[in-house]
Structure 1
């Protein structure tokens, strides 16, 4: 496993990334999350959720519109 980086992950995407739970997500949101994950981590990844602090607003999350995000340390395989 290699260290990739810290990414601003929209708060709405965390349950889907962490637990594969799409509850409440639109088809577009799922498409955006899947596209980000496939292009950034084609062989999969793990996330150090313990490093995530309180969410904060970002004008430029990794995908989607400006929103509340978590700064997530993500490791690719």
Structure 2
């Protein structure tokens, strides 16, 4: 198997697309995906402030936090 170098920009782009896909399946309208991705990143500390969640449970808690505090993103 050949190893290829992947740039940080490429990884960042791919991670951004995965996050937007995750948010879409969590119920965010397509027109709000970019805004929701930014809010997701900005909400991490607040959403997990008193949490003991780890791994995928952290992601779930952040989405639940967003659904509670940023309802408009999820309106269809």
Structures share fold, TM-score greater than 0.5: no
Higher relative contact order (CA 8 A, sep 6+): 1
Whichever of the two has the greater Rg, that structure is: 2
Please report the TM-score for the alignment, with normalisation by the length of structure 2: 0.28
Higher helix share: 2
Please report the TM-score for the alignment, with normalisation by the length of structure 1: 0.28
